[in-house]
Amino acid sequence: MLTPERIVSTVCPFCGVGCNLELHVRDGFIYKVTSPFESVVNHGNLCVKGRFGYDFIYNPQRVTVPLIRKTPQRPGERTQAFDLSEWREVSWDEALDYVADRLVEIYRREGSHAMAVYCCAKATNEDNYLLQKMFRALFRTNNVDHCTRLCHAASVVALQMAIGSAAMSNTAAEVIENDVFILTGSNPTENHPIIALQMKAAVRKHGAKLIVVDPRRIEMVDYATLYLPIKPGTDVPVFSAMAHVILKEGLYNRQFIAERTENFDAFAASMEKFTPEYAESISGVDRNLIIEAARLYATAKNAAIYWALGIPESSHGVANALSLINLALLTGHIGRRGTGLNPLRGQNNVQGASDSGAMPWHYPGYQRVDVEQNARRWEQAWHIEPGGLSRELGLTTTEILSSVGQGGVRALYIMGENPMMSEPNLNHTRKKMQELEFLVAQDLFINESGAFADVFLPAASWAEKEGTFTNTDRRVQRVRQVIPPRGQSRPDWEIICDLAKRIEKRLGRPQTAYWDYRHPSEVLEEMGRYVPEYAGVTYERLEREGGLQTPVWDHQHPGTPFLFADTFPRGRGKFHPLEYAPNAEMPDEDYPFVLSTGRVLEHWHGGTLTRHSWLDDLFPEPLVDIHPGDAARLGIQDGDAVRVTSRRGSIVLRAHITPKTNPGVVFIPFHFREAAANLLTHDILDPQAKIPEYKAAVVRVTKARPEELGARAEPQVRGRY
Amino acid sequence: MESSPVSLTIDGRTIQASPDMTILEAAQQIGIEIPTICYHEHCTANALCRICVVEVSNARALVPACIATVQEGMEVQTHSERVHRARRTILEMLHSSVDLSEAPEILAMARNYNADPQRFPDAWRREPPVIDDNPMYIRDYAKCILCWRCVQVCAEDAQYTYAINFSGRGYETQISTFFHHPMPETTCVFCGQCVGVCPTGALKPKREWLLEQGYAPEVIMNLTRSERRGKKRRANLAV
């Protein structure tokens, strides 16, 4: 029996739930993870990733020495180097001087618009704050974004348009206080496992009624009172038809509408055409189910809506999200405990990275970059001459890559992200990565994107540094160092500060923006001085009180478990009239299936971490989910090799025949480089949120020869749903 | 609806308690400690191990404090001779059949109650081999005291996955998957809630177990996929 030398409390590095972990350590080896049963977030429960998936830290393939490519890379001829023999081990001084020289040279020659950075929703608030500060203060560019663009960008835009906020309105654990809740575009048993436990308990133990609206028959359907098997991308007609029924049957909340909202009449008029019959004809959902769902939601005492990426990841993602917001405003199911509009955020710190300004249109705290007084505030914060900061909206994640080339972005700095797996239409992404003049990767592993880099900076993992994460319900929690950084790796915040000082010196700026932080707590303190929502969040309080839910307006403020009790940030909640727009691609004879992409329980996003973990043993190869009816028609058996082809690319993988996906829809997780789902997806964006339509590319499925699978891991039997 | 409190005595002390409280909770309220083994605050109490039994006036048998609720006029003895004898015997029977080497709390309890580990020298020990059928955790049922916490957190107490339950009856009872299928073939999602509540080290993360077996961290992290799955012998790798 082992006794730990130390047990350190920290936060899980995987999803947005933000589970509390206790890491048990001996001789620098984390051998066990437990969780405190009194944790308000997860009550001692964890999922497979949180409890067992931390071992990527010790993976022998992890890179812990700074590297520079042996062969100089030229724009257009850039290649991928996965093998260490193609890299030269260098000192930190050499690596950082080289990065500073190259970045400054490109900046001087090409100007601000040539510089761009991908921040990271896995890194801490402090890391992200500093990286956006480096690019804004030193290179005077707002080309700063991260993967929020690829996940909830449309939810954020819609929430800002309608109520002026950009986060979950309520606390995840409040789900047990719902009488009725709608779950749509979300598969929480795999993607937010601990919230799923609370949802199951809400149904089984607390009498809540669940309405699932989803193109996949996910596990939560087993707990649902109503299941609406919607065709991909028909969210607006279904939710608007619910609004139509609520309006026709007079089930709306007149007092709430009069006191708290605006634009009701125009909205009500636009709902006229969304009859349940019309919605049925588009979505395939029985009109009676829509009517029942509308009545159930509208007449509940407390009802809430939870959604994930099935709503925003669409060419009409903003409209999808608005159709949900309209329902909440119509019924007044917002601003009380057990109600609300709750986009479940994906990454452990996507809320925090967004709060910390890792976004092209906003400084930290969602302060627009094109508002003069905001720019002035940050010029003062960072000791920059008046007018020094850019007032121009920066490029978003997808725009950064598509603008790469002459006169566009020339230098890209990637902290922890993996666009070569996560961007849509990867063949296009590859061309753009090849065209970069200079690329820096700061990560734990040489992933598909880092393999293109000129310089690789080895970062410390979450267990090797101090900081804070902000989870999906706006809870800021402490991330604590458990073991020393492996090898020569360094915490991201330290790397950024060291590099920023070298860049600043080369630029000869008269005053420093300040990079001499001794501890991440000083970074959060700086951010709190200029971001009112974080004004009361200090390390001292986090140590004493545990998590704090933003906004925390001052040092006495207790934090905010649920939002909008009295008013919305924009004043009145605004109804938005809606029109139905089909997906950018619709199925046809050549491409009869709609491809939905997403995650599986055992893996995380581009796979940089989980495919370097024993988690990979549980789900070692890519699979495409096909409905039994479709499979029978195509003559495909479970485990057969199939080729899935879209207008942009083609991949070969094994078929998984399952009723979990509905007829006409196939599902492929996007973690697997062997058959990258994003070779198939298209890069048509929502016009307002610039988010790609990951959930609805059209494809055809044909039988392939087993040898076309190439070298794949031996299939793993898996009994879970 | 608040119901009015009831009055009872525990070890001679008269107290007021809410009628939905268990004897265990009421005793805790006034600082009287009743020992527990299978009970866990996070799980539904089942009164399986019976170590928490107390003597209640007018009750024929001893009463498990973790599930019995308080009643008006109840007189409870938590540490009478009869109670102690029962607890001692339970601990001696556990000792005779189960490997308690990784259950320090139970061992301490046995010392406190003067339990004789050798009281039943001829008892048939439960010594099934370690089940190493997945890369996440091992199951060493020689250490299992059948507290049922793992089954409960796999079911309604947390995960709603229902991958494990009792198999066998009487002395043959063991926690198992249905038809003894390997864990990856069941509904198991490898959340490890079961590992988190196991009180005796019967369920253990794979890497912790390997470390105990003498493998160095570097050796553990260099195991191949099939070695991790437990399919191939690791004999050559031991240090």
Domain ranges, ordered by start, for chain B:
6-79, 137-237
Asked if B205 and A31 come within 8 Å (Cβ–Cβ), the reply is: yes
User: What confidence tens digit (pLDDT) does each residue in A566-625 have?
Assistant: 999 999 999 999 999 999 999 999 999 999 999 999 999 999 999 999 999 999 999 999
- State pLDDT tens for residues A380-411: 999 999 999 999 999 999 999 999 999 999 99
Same domain, A84 and A195: no
Q: What is the pLDDT of residues B8-65, one digit of tens each?
A: 999 999 999 999 999 999 999 999 999 999 999 999 999 999 999 999 998 999 999 9
**Percent of chain A whose pLDDT exceeds 90:** 96
Suggest the residue from B42, B106, B132, B191 to mutate for an interface test with chain A (most A CBs closer than 10 A): B191
- Residues of chain A whose beta carbon is less than 8 angstroms from a beta carbon of chain B are 1-2, 24, 26-29, 31-35, 37, 43-48, 51-52, 55, 58-60, 189, 193, 197, 200, 204-205, 601-602, 614, 616-618, 620, 713, 716-721
CA-to-CA distance for A288 and A293, rounded, in angstroms? Answer: 8
Q: Are A304 and A563 in contact (CB under 8 A)?
A: no
**Alpha-carbon separation of residue A651 from A449, B194, B202 (angstroms):** 19, 39, 44
Domain identity same for A127 and A222: no
CA atoms within 13 A on the CB side of A675: 26
Q: What is the per-residue pLDDT for A143?
A: 98
**Could you say which DSSP state residue A113 is in?**
G
Q: Could you count the other beta carbons within 10 Å of the beta carbon of residue A85?
A: 7
Q: Do A1 and B101 touch (CB under 8 A)?
A: yes
The full DSSP string for A116-156 is EEE--TTS-HHHHHHHHHIIIIIT----EE-GGGGTTHHHH
Read off the pLDDT of residues B199-210 as tens digits, 9 standing for 90 and up: 999 999 999 999
Same structural domain, A107 and A188: no
Query: What does the mean pLDDT of chain B come to?
Result: 93
- Taking the C-alpha atoms of residue B234 and residue A578, their distance in angstroms, rounded to an integer, is 63
- A146/chain B closest Cα distance in angstroms: 29
Q: What is the pLDDT of residue B237?
A: 44
pLDDT at A485: 98
Compute the distance between CA of residue A473 and CA of residue A469 in angstroms, rounded to an integer. Answer: 11
3 state DSSP class of B141: helix
Task: Quote the pLDDT of residue B232.
Answer: 47
Residue ranges of alpha helices (H) inside A27-84 are 48-52
- Examine residue A571 and state whether it is found in any structural domain, yes or no: no
At residue B225 the predicted structure's pLDDT band, cuts being 50, 70 and 90, is confident
Residue reference for tokens 């410390």 = A460
State the Cα–Cα distance between residues B205 and B195, nearest whole angstrom: 7
- Asked if residue B233 has pLDDT above 60, the reply is no
Instruction: Report the distance separating Cα B152 and Cα B48, nearest Å.
Output: 12
How far apart are alpha carbons A518 and A514 in whole angstroms?
12
Most A CBs within 10 Å, among B152, B179, B207, to test the A interface: B207
User: Could you tell me where the DSSP H helices lie in chain B?
Assistant: 23-29, 81-97, 104-112, 149-154, 193-197, 206-212, 217-221, 225-229
Interface test with B, best of A52, A55, A599 (most B CBs within 10 A): A52
Q: Which of these three, A494, A527, A549, is where a domain ends?
A: A549
Does the pLDDT value for residue B234 go beyond 80?
Answer: no
Residue pLDDT, tens place only, B101-123: 999 999 999 999 999 999 999 99
Task: Give me A192's structure tokens.
Answer: 């937010």
Q: What single letter denotes the amino acid at residue B174?
A: Q
Confidence of residue B236 (pLDDT cuts 50, 70, 90): very low
Contact state of A713 with B137 under an 8 Å Cβ cutoff: no
In a domain, A577, yes or no: no
CA dist., res. B114 & res. A268, Å (int): 77
Q: Read out DSSP for A581-610?
A: ---SS---SSS-EEEEEE--TT--TTSTTG
Q: What is the residue range of A651's domain?
A: 593-709
Q: What is the pLDDT of residue A715?
A: 87
Q: A41 exposed, middle or buried (CB, 10 Å; 0-12, 13-18, 19+)?
A: buried
Q: Is A280 found in the same domain as A193?
A: yes
Reported as type and span, the H/E element at residue A160 is helix A153-162
Residue B1 pLDDT greater than 60, yes or no:
no
pLDDT confidence of residue B231: 55
CATH of the domain at A10: 2.20.25.90
Burial of A292 (0-12, 13-18, 19+ CB in 10 A): middle
Say how far apart CA A483 and CA B131 lie, in whole Å: 31
Give the Cα separation of B216 and A567 in Å (integer): 58
pLDDT beneath 50, residues of chain A: none
Residue B16: left (phi > 0), alpha (psi -120 to 50), or beta?
beta
Name residues whose C-beta falls within 8 Å of residue A607's C-beta, 6 or more positions apart in sequence. Answer: A418, A421, A447, A671, A672, A673
Is residue A586 domain-resident?
Answer: no
A569 occurs within a structural domain: no
Same-domain pairing of A170 and A145: no
SS (H, E, C) A617-647: HHCCCCEEEECHHHHHHHCCCCCCEEEEECC
Q: Which helix (H) or strand (E) holds A506?
A: helix A492-507
Give ipTM to 2 decimals: 0.94
Q: How far is B58 from chain A (nearest CA, A)?
A: 35
Element of type H or E holding A429: helix A426-435
Q: Do B191 and A48 touch (CB under 8 A)?
A: yes
Question: Would you give the DSSP letter of residue A485?
Answer: P
- The number of domains in chain A is 4
B137-237 carries CATH number 3.30.70.20? yes
Decide if pLDDT at B2 tops 70. Answer: no
Among A36, A58, A80, which residue terminates a domain?
A: A58
Residues A120, A468: Cα–Cα separation, whole Å? 13
- Please say whether the dihedral angle defined by the alpha carbons of residues A310, B186, B150 and B140, taken in this order, is positive or negative: negative
- Asked if A109 contacts A437 with a C-beta cutoff of 8 angstroms, the reply is no
Q: What is the dihedral of CA A537, A539, A544, A550, to 10 degrees?
A: 20
Task: Give me the pLDDT at residue B3, please.
Answer: 77
- For residues A348 and A15, give the distance between their C-alpha atoms in angstroms, rounded to a whole number: 4
B6-79: what fold? Ubiquitin-like (UB roll) (3.10.20)
Together in a domain, A340 and A352: no
Residue A40 shares a structural domain with residue A73: no
Tell me the residue ranges of DSSP E strands in B35-140: 53-56, 63-64, 75-77, 137-139
Burial class (CB in 10 A: 0-12, 13-18, 19+), A539: middle
Give the three-class secondary structure for A232. coil
Q: How far apart are CA A403 and CA A380, in angstroms?
A: 31
pLDDT at A164: 93
Kindly state whether residues A41 and A143 are assigned to the same domain. no
Q: Are A456 and A446 in contact (CB under 8 A)?
A: yes
Beta strands in A272-379 (DSSP E): 303-307, 340-343, 362-363, 367-368
At residue A481, what are phi and psi to the nearest 5 degrees? -70, 130
> How far is the C-alpha of A315 from the C-alpha of A236, rounded, in Å?
12
- Residue that terminates a domain, selected from A312, A344, A376: A344
Contacts of A637 (CB under 8 A, 6+ apart): A631, A655, A657
Chain A within 8 Å of B130 (Cβ-Cβ)? no
Bond before A551 cis per omega within 30 degrees: yes
Q: Residue A701: which of A648, A660, A651, A659 has the closest Cα?
A: A651
Total-model pTM: 0.95
Distance from CA of A457 to the nearest CA of B (A): 23
Chain centroid to CA A58 = 25
Instruction: Name the nearest CA neighbour of A195 among A217, A168, A213.
Output: A168
b (16+ CB within 10 A) / e for B124-142: eebeeebbbbbbbbbbbbb
**Are A420 and A477 contained in the same domain?**
yes
Measured between CA atoms, how close is B140 to chain A, in angstroms? 13
> H/E element holding A110?
helix A92-110
Q: Which helix (H) or strand (E) holds A89?
A: strand A87-89
A131 and A167 co-located in one domain: no
Model pLDDT, residue A177: 95
What's the CATH code of the domain at A321? 3.40.228.10
Same domain, A173 and A315: yes
CB contact under 8 A, B158 and A719: no
User: Is residue A133 included in any domain, yes or no?
Assistant: yes
Q: Is residue A565 part of a domain?
A: no
In this structure, is residue A297 part of a structural domain? yes
Query: Does residue B212 carry a pLDDT above 90?
Result: yes
In this structure, the answer to whether residues A305 and A267 fall within a common structural domain is yes
Residue B93 CB neighbours (<10 A): 14
Cβ contact, residue pair B186, A44, below 8 Å: no
Instruction: Provide the β-strand partners of residue A391.
Output: none
